[in-house]
Copies of this chain bind each other. A is one copy, B any other.
Amino acid sequence: MGKVVLDISSSLDGFVAGPRPSLEEPLGEGGEQLHEWTVRLASWRERHGESGGVLDADDEVVAEGVASAGAVLMGRRMFSGGDGPWEEDPNADGWWGEEPPFRVPVFVLTHHPRDPLVKLGTTFTFVDEGVESAVEQARAAAGEKNVAVGGGASVAQQVLSAGLLDELEIHLVPVLLGGGTRLLDNLAPQVQLERVRVVDSPGVTHLRYRVVA
């Protein structure tokens, strides 16, 4: 049985998205800075249909996460890329294009029931029965592999609060956003963590914790 894992980029002041998200800046003002470290990596480029890129400690962390994931769980906002298209058309395709980078079954936690959306290599299944059901379905689809909780912060918090997360990996980026969405709000003291490993690169520090309670 695989694990339910969350890996997420965070600013040093604890924000996983900047303030005032918009269609232009779905990760909020300054939020792009949290993900700049991934874009140059070989594993990121390969996943997005491009060649080249850097092979370093950061790349190993990302490649390992991709290889171990048998299913992805995400929120409705992450599927649709902000509040835009989905609000206007609940059957919009989201913003992941014709060949989404996941290539494993994706489960989208939503309040709007909807038929599965089949794209090249990736099927999106929409779950409107709550986070426990979404995790259960994703676990079944992942088999021996992990369920990767893709975000955003709301889904991650729901999974953590419900005691459904096995491991949390924070990619700590040395920027300050000064505002936005915090991952680790309103969780203590029920969540207990134990450090599993630290991977260190010049740009980012990857901190992995096991959720022990």
Contact = CB atoms under 8 A, between A and B. Distances in A.
The majority secondary structure among interface residues of chain A is loop
Interface size class of A (residues with CB under 8 A): 20 to 34
A120 interface: no
Given A13-B14, A200-B198, A205-B198, A178 B189 contact: yes
Contacts of A175: 188, 192-193
Which of A12, A170, A200, A207 counts the most chain B CB atoms within 10 A?
A: A12
Interface in A164-213: 170, 172, 174-179, 182, 184-189, 191-195, 198, 200, 202-203, 205, 207, 209
A25 to B, nearest CB: 15
Contacts of A176: 184, 187-189, 191, 193
